[in-house]
Amino acid sequence: MTQARLTHPMTPMSREHEEAASSADFDDFWEQTLAEAHSFELNVRIDRIDSPVKTIDVFDVSFSGFQGEAVKGWLRKPKGLSEHAGSVVEFVGYGNGRGEHIDNLLWSSAGYAHLTMDTRGQGSVHSPGHTADPHGSGPSVPGFASRGVTDPSGYYYRRLIVDAVRAVDAMRSLDGIDPSRVALFGASQGGGVALAVAGLVPDLAAVVAKVPFLCDIPRALTLAESGPYMEIVKWLETHVHREHEAMRALSYVDAVNFGPRATAPALFSAGLRDTVCPAPTVASAFDAYAGGKELRIWKYGGHAGGGSTEDLEVLRFLDAHLG
């Protein structure tokens, strides 16, 4: 694995990011947010489904996320899984939902209990979702990245990050799961959410953030050429006078600001040809991350990172930390 720093001489961190990132109320904001979340019963429901998959048991899961609202997920467990099993909680990419129960059997095939969290309001791009987002917002560009972007409390990603924290709580509450052997995995949006959760949830076994979104957002807004960052760029183009409000709200979900709180061993990846989540933004989050860390750079990789070759490396990383 390679530990490296990627820089871009033309895109220093913006003044807005410096001010917001140093805000004394960042910790208070998330402590209050999580206190509110934990005031609701977790209400985990788990129902085995009839499936033609022969080697894996599949369960339809729901739990209470933001403001106690029900969030769906799939739990996949290898048949005969031992007690106190290691597990992986996965957060999916932008526009996607939990998919069908036969999707994404890699982690359970590797011997881990695997919870795929649905993504509120999303799930109509590559994989279907089954969880609504009942909250409205002010004017936004089509998509999710600019929904409520002037209000830290009303911003879409605050709700999604709370859901993700509660997904870890739900996994840890299940019979047969070792709460000390829970790892996080996410790519793109899921990777950014995983890094946020790593800064909010203690005692995680490992974190994998593949080409993560929500990293050094001010720099990303100047470097990205496609994908969800462009929704924010378009919003700022229209609402020029509200840039400071937007940058302040975005700072509360930026992985750079969660990094100093995170201690779990982490594996990051970046593609040097990634136009969606540019490599220098990933490097900023990597530099800020306080735990043990590795950064895998894919010289010719775009937003797919290293593809299946990277998946093999992730499996070895998880095996080293989950056993």
- Annotated catalytic residues are 188, 274, 303
Q: 323, 301, 109, 117: which is closest to 210 by C-alpha?
A: 301
Spatial separation of the C-alpha atoms in residues 29 and 83, rounded to whole Å: 37
Task: Find the Cα–Cα–Cα–Cα dihedral 269, 274, 280, 281, rounded to 10°.
Answer: -80
Would you say 65 and 161 are in contact if contact means Cβ atoms under 8 Å apart?
no
- In this structure, the number of other CB atoms found within 10 A of the CB of residue 27 comes to 11
Angle between helical axes of 156-173 and 26-38 (0-180°, round to 10): 50
Going 249 to 253 to 254 to 260, the CA torsion angle's sign is positive
